[in-house]
Amino acid sequence: MAAAPPITGIAEVVLNVQDLPAMREFYVGVLGFNLHSELSLETEDPDPAGKPTITFLTICPGNTPLARGGHPPMLVLIDYRRHVYAKGRTEAVAARHSTLNHLAFEVAPQDFAAHERNLRAAGLELTPSAFPALKASALFFRDPEGNVIELITHDPEAQ
């Protein structure tokens, strides 16, 4: 078998969610993601006046052909009970029963302390971790629906 061509980046991470507005507010208000777009797709025909069933959040600008063309790396939130392409495919959302271990997002070393202050101010319980072999430090916490989130940064002095 020939070696596979390289992957150039992550286009999307998609989460089924129970409370789309609360999850959107968390990722925009607490983590600083930007709202890229939202749609109401309770049927195959988009409803411009409808309550969103899917939200696209920009994680970071990205520098791949897809990102430069208007599709940056995104976190996508889907109301799995209402979105036409998700309903019926998921029985329930529960972090304890998911195959997802955690989501990790890289932050700049100079912004790490500010992120920690913002997360503490938001009342989140943080678990700091160091990864000396990776020369990295991280903070672990949970989003409103119980998913474990990691903010990780380059830290040559991690112990």
Residues 6 and 54 in one domain: yes
pLDDT in tens, 1-11: 899 988 899 99
List all residues 6 or more positions away from 4 whose beta carbon is below 8 Å from its beta carbon: none
Residue 8: give its domain's CATH number: 3.30.720.120
Residues 87 and 100 in one domain: no
What is the three-class DSSP state of 112? helix
pLDDT in tens, 71-122: 999 999 999 999 999 887 776 666 666 778 899 999 999 999 999 999 999 9
Total number of domains in the chain: 2
Phi and psi angles of residue 48, each rounded to the nearest 5 degrees, phi first: -60, -25
Residues 69 and 122 in one domain: no
Report yes or no: 62 and 73 within 8 Å, Cβ to Cβ.
Answer: yes
pLDDT score recorded for residue 159: 82
Residues 80 and 118 in one domain: no
Residues 67 and 142 in one domain: no
Q: How confident is the model at residue 61 (pLDDT cuts 50, 70, 90)?
A: very high
Which residue range is the domain that position 153 belongs to?
95-159
